Amino acid sequence: MTFYGDVRSEVLAGDDGLLESADPIHRKALDDAALMREVATGSVEAFSILVERHSPALYRVAMRMLSDAAEAEDVTQDCFTRLWQNAPRWQPSGAGLVGWLHRVTMNLCFDRKRRFRVVTVDELPDPADDTPLADRRIEAEQASEAVGAALADLPERYRAALVLCYYEGFSNALAAQVLDLNIKAMESLLFRARRQMRGLLEARDVSYADLEAQA
C-alpha cells in the first residue's frame, strides 16, 4: 500500500545528500530524525522510506478509529502529505516522529468523525461449517466483531486512548503526548475508557479479555 504518489509527483528528485552515500540496507537503518533532515531538503527517497516504515501502523490506527478502509487510507495519505509539507519546520521532541505522526493521524480522524457519520456494512457470512474448528473460528470472529462494534460506540477520545494503549502498545506517557494530555489526565482518560468499554462488552455478552485478545 503506497500513499506518497501524489506528493512525489509534485517534487523533483534533488540531491539526496546522506542517502546518496549509503547503500540500500544502511538507508533503511537511518533513524527518523536523520531521514526527516533529508526530507526537509526535498529528498523523495527519504520520504518514501518513512512512508514504508510508518504507514502500516498509522493505517491500523485510522482503521480502528473510523471503521472504514477508504477513509483510513485517505487519513494515512493526508498524514504523510502534512509530513512532507511540514518537514522543513519539524523539530525532534520527546515523542519523536512516531508521536507526531500519530497525533496528526488522530486529529485527522477526529475531524472526519465530526464531519461525517461513517456507516459500515456487514459482510455476508461464510457458508456454514459444522466442524468444531469452524465453531471456534466463528466464535472468535463474532467476538472480534463485538469488540469492534463496542470500540466504535465509545466517545472518540476514549476510543483513541484504547487504540493507542491496547492495540498499538503505546506507554501511557507516549499516548499522553499524542493526545496532548498530561500523564494524570491520560491515566484518568484510560481508566474511564476501560470502564465504559467493559460495560459495552458486557452488554454484548463478551468478556473484557476478548478486548485484550484482539490487541
Q: Provide the mean pLDDT of the chain.
A: 79
Whether 81 and 11 have beta carbons less than 8 Å apart is answered as: no
- What's the CA gap between 62 and 74, in Å, rounded? 9
Residue 164 near residue 170, CB atoms below 8 Å: yes
Q: Average pLDDT of 141-160?
A: 84
Does the pLDDT of residue 31 top 70, yes or no? yes
Q: Is 38 exposed, middle or buried (0-12, 13-18, 19+ CB in 10 A)?
A: buried
pTM of the model: 0.72
Q: What was the pLDDT predicted at 35? A: 94
Q: Enter the C-alpha cell of residue 55.
A: 504507514
Q: What percent of the chain has pLDDT over 90?
A: 55
Instruction: Report how far residue 63's alpha carbon sits from residue 1's, in angstroms, rounded to the nearest whole number.
Output: 14
Model pLDDT for residues 165-199, shown as the tens digit of each residue:
988 999 999 999 999 999 999 999 999 999 999 99
User: How far apart, in whole angstroms, are the C-alpha atoms of residue 110 and residue 65?
Assistant: 8
pLDDT above 50: residue 13: no
Contacts of 157 (CB under 8 A, 6+ apart): 179, 189, 193
d(CA 199, CA 72): 27
CB-based burial of residue 87 (10 Å sphere; 0-12 exposed, 13-18 middle, 19+ buried)?
Answer: buried
Q: What is the mean predicted confidence (pLDDT) over 36-43?
A: 94
Lowest mean pLDDT among 24-38, 51-65, 152-166, 199-213: 199-213
Q: What is the mean pLDDT of residues 31-38?
A: 93
Q: Which residue has the higher pLDDT, 30 or 187?
A: 187
Residue 149: per-residue pLDDT:
86
Domains of the chain: 5-115 (1.10.1740.10), 132-214 (1.10.10.10)
